[in-house]
Amino acid sequence: MQTKTQILERVKLNKPVLIEGLPGIGNVGRVAAGYLISELKMKKFAELYSHHFLPLVMLQEDGTASLLKCEFYYQKQNNLIILTGDTQSISPEGHYEVCEVILDLAEKMGVKEIITLGGFAEGKQVDEPRVVGAVNDKSLLKKYGKYGIDFGKEHPVGTVVGASGLLLGLGRSRGMDGLCLMGETFGLPLMTDPKAADRVLHVLSKVLGIKLDLTKLEKTIKGMEDRIRTTDKIHKSILEQIPKQGKEDQTGYIG
Amino acid sequence: MQTKTQILERVKLNKPVLIEGLPGIGNVGRVAAGYLISELKMKKFAELYSHHFLPLVMLQEDGTASLLKCEFYYQKQNNLIILTGDTQSISPEGHYEVCEVILDLAEKMGVKEIITLGGFAEGKQVDEPRVVGAVNDKSLLKKYGKYGIDFGKEHPVGTVVGASGLLLGLGRSRGMDGLCLMGETFGLPLMTDPKAADRVLHVLSKVLGIKLDLTKLEKTIKGMEDRIRTTDKIHKSILEQIPKQGKEDQTGYIG
Amino acid sequence: MQTKTQILERVKLNKPVLIEGLPGIGNVGRVAAGYLISELKMKKFAELYSHHFLPLVMLQEDGTASLLKCEFYYQKQNNLIILTGDTQSISPEGHYEVCEVILDLAEKMGVKEIITLGGFAEGKQVDEPRVVGAVNDKSLLKKYGKYGIDFGKEHPVGTVVGASGLLLGLGRSRGMDGLCLMGETFGLPLMTDPKAADRVLHVLSKVLGIKLDLTKLEKTIKGMEDRIRTTDKIHKSILEQIPKQGKEDQTGYIG
Amino acid sequence: MQTKTQILERVKLNKPVLIEGLPGIGNVGRVAAGYLISELKMKKFAELYSHHFLPLVMLQEDGTASLLKCEFYYQKQNNLIILTGDTQSISPEGHYEVCEVILDLAEKMGVKEIITLGGFAEGKQVDEPRVVGAVNDKSLLKKYGKYGIDFGKEHPVGTVVGASGLLLGLGRSRGMDGLCLMGETFGLPLMTDPKAADRVLHVLSKVLGIKLDLTKLEKTIKGMEDRIRTTDKIHKSILEQIPKQGKEDQTGYIG
């Protein structure tokens, strides 16, 4: 098997925005993406499989088993594509390959703007989580400057590991603008942080100009808990394989 | 060397069922497969070699050495193919590749149904081993519902690692139905569990509609012990390389 | 993504000398290369990207994020190309691939001579750092014999790991002469050693016949500190993945 | 770079025997091969390079640096090819690839018989080292039965890791007969065992029907010490990466 997308429905959109929320620290990106899909009643149109995912199937509660995958959802009204899924690549080379395959599909769909969602580990209790941002071109700072995103120098984020980072870097060379939104969180493994996801969604809804009712977020996360628990274990294994960074200042990020 | 099958005998079967029993926890799958081959007097018709196996040869007692391999056996009467062997892949990507090559051969042979056998580690003494099941399509639950297989939510299995899992997941996209039967076992490394294998074979004989005399199982296992001891060591090395999952709840599975 | 160079400006040089200074112990090579680029007002003409680099983007202080890369600079006056960058490959195979792609570009530019810069870890305080040298052909010992380089047997360097070594070894088979200059340094991780860089630049300027004002070196290093801090963390992760050598005699080298 | 052989001299031999002695436990194979090359005044005709070797160059005493490589020597009189070198592959897949490239060359040279040399770790002091053997076809047991090789069941060798094993296994499928000779040794890392090498050479000379003066062996080993020390460190790194086997019974083998 190679890394490949499987199209479930042919969809035409007009320069859609691609939003990525895959498993990561505090599950911020994934939970935010899941909530958007549910609130905006988005529809799945493609799946991505890769030999760079863990070699296993996940068991659902009904006794069915399926390969690990990423999923693409769309909504015509707001011209949105959301990418979420069970896992990220387990090898460094695989990360690059998976992101290129994601961008191949995005390019075909006419995507010119990517927003990646994640958490960044603060290493301590966070009462009012900041949303730290990064862009893949200096000119975008002005565009995204009015939404309360922290682009400053005070935050401890030095690198963005995984899809949230690579989609920005690799997207640039395809002429795609990119914004990464990272919600501040404690960063304990296997602990979903609804508060950070709430903050990220709050900023995102303003960036997209979409009204979003965030009151059901905690309830929705509860409904995702079973699946999250299983993929958390998978994600934890992956995290353990990626070289630690910034250990000395108690931070780190993957999303 | 690539991963490849070597055909020893051209065989024609009529939509045979493929049964997989490779090394894994408690050696449940492998021992069950070995007993079937012996009891049904099945004949080897193909071998599979891969650069994703450990880079070594195994010494037989007579002083001969041979590459690690998987083996395919057939029996015309019951339209069966059994896949067993010395090892599984030692890399995650290799697992996907080896399973695709297995399915390439299965597809050529007209296989439409796969049954994978294994054990799942309970982490404690098991007196009456359950047989936990998973299918690769919801519609199959009814078909396999009458054989005492535990498809419920009470068991602790969240993922199926290796060939027993991937053959189901990858087989689905080739239109093959898949059932995984996992015998409950303690899960200590290097400890073959005949009782779990007995339970799995008991269920399997009912699923296949084959009469199977299980009285000779323990004796047969004794005869396989030498070869099992060597491949156990190999398998242990592989297990150590695969990211642990579910450590906190003392379970895990590979088969 | 494959390993590939991206040409920013078509440049014609006359048998230029390629000087490599990538991250390594004491940051000797990288700091020396950075100083040369700054002092000789060199201009960037190409970048190199690879899926063998860590799967992440680095955040600059202004909030922009970019892929890890190597960079090629040139100066017509002295017929020089300098290769520096954020990182080296994180896998052994990747090291070979990245170096071959570097040499592909070097060959197209007409490079016949390579000088690689780095540090070697002495494992203790060094007051007057030696510059140890290695060549990729015996006949070069005479050519480089008059610059105070230690080609003798007394130093503890047994191997040169990474680009500084492979460019010499792989360059040989393309008919390129190669010299490696290694400044003696303590070898603590995450500690830039200006004194060793000074010594290496001192020798290098004599080899190249270029006048070089070294008084601003410490100040320039201060200006690089922010970027160095981030890539130091990255480089440390890589170092941890490369098998240790010569641990017993407290030495080791990568550059 | 791929794994590839570089031919230094076109040589025609008549069904030569290929003898392999690469670095391994006790350096038995490598030292035995080195002694043969020296005693039989054999000439190098080919080299093998691979991106599966460690990414470094080795420094010779004269200040020159060169890539890790394997080397092929020949002698017309006895129709012999000897393969020795600095290292083996550092990845499992690499082992398969390197051995296939070795066999590609062997096949072109008309090789029909391979003899691989190594040590096996006994885990304790050995006074009179046995020479344990393995063949890649049962019919060969008779051919090699008269030279005092231990093909019995009493020795603790269950697997042969690396080139000494794979050349036998992979050679079989090319129709090449294979014999592996393993000298019993303590098996401490970084400790060359001349006594085991002496025993292996003693048996080998009888198998080949060649008169071999073994009195200079210890002296020759002394002359190889410098190079052995460096590659021992390299080899130790590799050993640490290969999954341990048979740890519980204190044995293990690579050669």
pLDDT in tens, B82-125: 999 999 999 999 999 999 999 999 999 999 999 999 999 888 88
A210 at C interface, C-beta within 8 A: no
Q: pTM (2 decimals)?
A: 0.91
Q: Which of B151, B137, B156, B116 minimizes the C-alpha distance to B28?
A: B116
Subunits in contact with chain C (3 or more CB pairs closer than 8 Å) = A, D
CA distance D181 to chain C (A): 29
**What is the chain C residue with the closest CA to D67?**
C169
C59 at A interface, C-beta within 8 A: yes
pLDDT value at position D21? 97
Q: Do chains C and B touch (3 or more CB pairs under 8 A)?
A: no
Tell me the pLDDT band of B233, cut-offs 50, 70 and 90: low
A27-36, B219-228, C52-61, D208-217: segment of lowest average pLDDT: B219-228
pLDDT in tens, B135-186: 999 999 999 999 999 998 788 788 899 999 999 999 999 999 999 999 999 8
Higher-confidence position of D77 and A225: D77
pLDDT value at position A230? 67
Measured between CB atoms, which of A153, A158, A172 is closest to C230? A158
pLDDT value at position D235? 61
pLDDT value at position D82? 98
Measured between CB atoms, which of B57, B59, B90 is closest to D92? B90
Angle at D236 between CA D234 and CA D238, to 5 degrees: 75
Q: Do chains B and A touch (3 or more CB pairs under 8 A)?
A: yes
pLDDT value at position C88? 93
A191 at B interface, C-beta within 8 A: no
Measured between CB atoms, which of D165, D243, D246 is closest to B65? D165
CA distance D242 to chain C (A): 12
**Which residues in chain A touch residue B153, judged by CB atoms under 8 angstroms apart?**
61
A49-63, A223-237, B74-88: segment of lowest average pLDDT: A223-237
Measured between CB atoms, which of C63, C90, C240 is closest to A133? C63
Structure tokens at D21: 């002695």
Could you say which residues of chain C have pLDDT below 50?
241-255
With CB atoms and an 8 Å threshold, state whether C165 touches D61: no
With CB atoms and an 8 Å threshold, state whether B245 touches A238: no
- Domains of chain C (ranges, CATH numbers): 14-239 (3.40.50.10900)
- Residue B138: what residue type? K
Residue written as tokens 């970027």?
Answer: C227
Order of strands across the sheet with D43-49? D4-7, D43-49, D70-75, D80-85, D17-20, D113-121, D177-185, D131-135
Residue-wise DSSP of chain A: --SEEEESS----SSPEEEE--S-GGGHHHHHHHHHHHHTT-EEEEEEE-TTS-SEEEEPTTSBEEE--EEEEEETTTTEEEEEES---SSHHHHHHHHHHHHHHHHHTT--EEEEEEEEE-SS--SS--EEEEESSTTHHHHTTTS--B-SSSS---EEESHHHHHHHHHHTTT-EEEEEEEEE---TT---HHHHHHHHHHHHHHHT-----TTHHHHHHHHHHHHHHHHHHHHHHHHHSPP-SGGGT-B-B-
- Residue B215: what residue type? T
**pLDDT values of chain D reduced to their tens digit, one per residue, 255 residues:** 799 999 999 999 999 999 999 998 888 999 999 999 999 999 999 999 999 999 999 998 899 999 999 999 999 999 999 999 999 999 999 999 999 999 999 999 999 999 999 999 888 888 889 999 999 999 999 999 999 999 987 787 888 999 999 999 999 999 999 999 999 998 876 678 889 999 999 999 999 999 999 998 888 877 777 677 767 766 665 555 443 332 222 233 344
Structural element, H or E, at residue D102: helix D92-108
**Which residues in chain B touch residue A64, judged by CB atoms under 8 angstroms apart?**
134-138, 141
> Would you state the torsion angle of the CA atoms of residues B156, B159, B161, B165, taken in this order, to the nearest 10 degrees?
110
